[in-house]
Copies of this chain bind each other. A is one copy, B any other.
Amino acid sequence: MSLTRIAVIGGTGPQGRGLAYRLAHAGHAIVLGSRDAARAEAAAAELRQQLDGAEISGASNLDAAASAPVVLLAVPYDGHTELVTSLAGALAGKVVISCVNPLGFDKLGPFGLDVPAGSAAEEAAAIAGDATLVGAFHHLSAPLLLDPEADLSHEDVLVCGDDRAAKELVMGLAADVTGGRAVDAGRLRLARQLEPLTAVLISVNKRYKTRSGVAITGLTQASQGRVLA
């Protein structure tokens, strides 16, 4: 797809760094955001070393969000409300991708948290009312994203959203990240299902000592990347 500039909020965390690595590798310009701009710049420098010639910089979360037309929220759910509130102005008019997974952990393992808005993606949409939210990238393993040898092309990126053009853009980015297929999962509210599904994958990872992902069966080659919102 055409190259774009993408701010990765929470870009020093494993999921953020992993997605930034893959997106930069595909040629997109990346601004890593962090609460601490110096930490973001250090993480950006590390990625620049790995990807010779890639356009990756670091900034505060707010400066990062303000600097790009596409903003990826790759933060823990803890603190999500406050963070999105602080960024709401900078997110206005932009495509905002949420890969936030509201999960809890106790002695029985991982579980999906109750989110008052239904899902983190819907919460962000409610707070940043002038942004166009798309849910995606919930199920990709951070270590695999960061591993140049890892082939992610057999994993499907499930994308949900209510805006067709934004969903198309994100599905293109998803194909850049995995080299495989993005699947239009439907409406944004289905993020309620996509986000906590990660609890199942973490549970499977623990049981089978692997890094699992999701694929959807029954889709033909012809349907790859088709958006029918």
User: Which A residues fall within an 8 A CB radius of B?
Assistant: 108-109, 111-112, 141, 154-155, 158, 183-187, 189-190, 192-194, 196-197, 199-201, 203-208, 210-220, 223, 226, 228-229
17 additional A-B pairs beyond A187-B203, A193-B193, A210-B218, beta carbons within 8 Å, are A108-B187, A141-B218, A155-B217, A184-B204, A184-B207, A184-B208, A185-B200, A185-B203, A186-B200, A190-B203, A193-B197, A208-B219, A208-B228, A210-B220, A212-B219, A214-B217, A215-B217
Q: Which secondary structure dominates where chain A touches chain B?
A: mixed
Tell me, rounded to whole Å, the shortest Cβ–Cβ distance linking A148 to chain B: 18
In order of increasing CB-CB distance, the 6 nearest A-B pairs are A186-B203, A213-B217, A212-B218, A207-B228, A215-B215, A210-B218
Tell me, rounded to whole Å, the shortest Cβ–Cβ distance linking A113 to chain B: 11
Tell me, rounded to whole Å, the shortest Cβ–Cβ distance linking A33 to chain B: 29
Residues of B within 8 A of A196 (CB): 192-193
